[in-house]
């Protein structure tokens, strides 16, 4: 491509990222000049790629454009937080504390109150730690997760953070739940965990915040899968992901064969597990689900078993492909494209292609839809 074509291509939504990845520091001044001319007002994503490309080629020579982004000049697209946030990322990675960017940075903060607080703290602290902390605290008071986590990680911010936590505990209710949910891994720090632990018996977000570092807590939360409280059920599903694969099998497999498995409450529990990111890694899953599929008559449960086989992974490809009994096995046929499309690698695409060539009717059409997704 010519330099002008490169500048234009960086704004192409379909290939802009690929073009950006091909830009090298030695691309030369002609390419940089063309990219500078290619900025288009309002093209936030394209201009973001152009900014990154210029920094790659010119290094500090591109600081003038970084300044324009921070100062919200029309040439780089108007008021768009994402473009200014990209400038923060670039400052953090390449120009941290650069004197030429200090004044434009403080101006950007005046213009846009929605800048990413985690990057914003790092780049402002390189110039003025006290002022950076002053920017962080109001965001933490609003419960912004990134601000809470950053404030908790700073020795100079810890006392203020503890005050906010204690205030949230005193307030209780949804405010407390959102506060603790926003903490992430920070909640497992001993000082904070000690404050949160008394809440874990009654507040799902508190229990969930502690379970990653406490296997006993994770098991206790996983016991809540049958709770009438949707918040506890959601936490229980996430707790399962922290348990050993063998324990997951022992907890979940009985639901597929329970006498009341056709009831809505049980099906909803199975469904919640199937829609989660949990993988069925225990080797017993494949023979267990394959055997149960052969015996199960209830259409919705048969489809759920097929989705369970999808969680086993490529090893279950044969069982999934052959799952429909006939063209009247509608629920299973409808499930096939989604389940197969989520499997990748280990010859899955070729196996589906061969199966589609020999299948007939609705079964074949479902396999062809799955093949199109795998090849897409």
Torsion from C-alpha of 337, 339, 341, 346, nearest 10 degrees: -130
Ranked by mean pLDDT, the top range of 74-88, 288-302, 334-348 is 288-302
For residue 253, pLDDT beyond 90:
yes
Confidence (pLDDT) at 347: 86
The pLDDT tens digits for 327-365 are: 899 999 999 999 998 887 668 999 999 999 999 999 999
Mean pLDDT for 55-69 is: 93
Confidence (pLDDT) at 183: 83
258 dihedral zone (left: phi>0; alpha: psi -120 to 50; beta): beta
Two structure tokens written together for 99: 């004197």
User: Who wins on pLDDT, 118 or 279?
Assistant: 279
User: Who wins on pLDDT, 127 or 82?
Assistant: 127
% of residues, the chain, pLDDT over 70: 97
Confidence (pLDDT) at 78: 45
**Secondary structure of 328-352 in HEC code, one letter for each residue:** CCHHHHHHHHHHHHCCCCCCHHHHH
Q: Where along the chain do its domains lie?
A: 1-127, 279-376
Buried b or exposed e, range 73-82, using 16+ CB within 10 angstroms: eeebbeebbe
Buried b or exposed e, range 316-338, using 16+ CB within 10 angstroms: bbebbbebbeeeebeebbebbbb
The pLDDT tens digits for 9-58 are: 999 999 999 999 999 998 899 999 999 999 887 788 899 999 999 999 99
Confidence (pLDDT) at 346: 67
Confidence (pLDDT) at 75: 47
Two structure tokens written together for 33: 């000049």
User: Who wins on pLDDT, 75 or 147?
Assistant: 147
98 dihedral zone (left: phi>0; alpha: psi -120 to 50; beta): beta
Confidence (pLDDT) at 80: 47
Count other Cβ atoms within 10 Å, centred on residue 173.
Answer: 9
């Amino acid at each position: 491509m010519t330099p002008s074509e490169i500048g234009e291509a960086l704004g192409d939504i379909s290939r802009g990222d690929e073009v950006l990845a091909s830009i090298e520091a030695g691309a030369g001044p002609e390419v940089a000049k063309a990219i500078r001319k290619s900025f288009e007002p309002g093209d936030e994503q394209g201009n973001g790629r152009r900014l990154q490309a210029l920094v790659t080629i010119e290094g500090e020579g591109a600081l003038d454009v970084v300044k324009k982004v921070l100062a919200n000049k029309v040439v780089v697209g108007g008021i768009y937080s994402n473009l200014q946030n990209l400038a923060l990322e670039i400052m953090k990675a390449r120009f941290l504390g650069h004197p030429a960017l200090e004044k434009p940075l403080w101006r950007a903060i005046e213009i846009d109150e929605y800048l990413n607080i985690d990057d914003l703290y790092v780049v402002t602290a390189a110039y003025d730690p006290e002022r950076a902390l002053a920017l962080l605290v109001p965001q933490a008071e609003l419960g912004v997760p990134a601000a809470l986590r950053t404030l908790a990680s700073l020795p100079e911010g810890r006392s203020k953070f503890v005050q906010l936590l204690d205030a949230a505990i005193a307030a209780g209710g949804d405010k407390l739940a959102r506060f603790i949910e926003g903490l992430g891994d920070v909640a497992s720090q001993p000082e904070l965990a000690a404050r949160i632990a008394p809440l874990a018996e009654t507040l799902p977000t508190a229990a969930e915040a502690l379970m990653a570092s406490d296997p006993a807590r994770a098991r206790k939360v996983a016991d809540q899968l049958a709770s009438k409280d949707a918040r506890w059920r959601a936490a229980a599903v996430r707790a399962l992901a922290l348990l050993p694969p063998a324990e997951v099998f022992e907890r979940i497999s009985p639901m597929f064969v329970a006498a009341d498995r056709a009831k809505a409450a049980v099906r909803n529990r199975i469904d919640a597990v199937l829609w989660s990111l949990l993988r069925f890694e225990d080797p017993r899953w494949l023979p267990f689900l394959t055997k149960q599929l052969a015996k199960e008559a209830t259409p919705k449960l048969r489809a759920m078993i097929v989705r369970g086989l999808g969680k086993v992974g490529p090893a279950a490809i044969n069982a999934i492909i052959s799952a429909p009994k006939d063209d009247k096995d509608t629920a299973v046929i409808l499930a096939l494209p989604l389940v197969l499309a989520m499997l990748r690698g280990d010859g899955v695409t070729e196996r589906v292609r061969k199966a589609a060539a020999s299948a007939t009717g609705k079964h074949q059409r479902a396999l062809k839809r799955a093949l199109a997704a795998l090849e897409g």
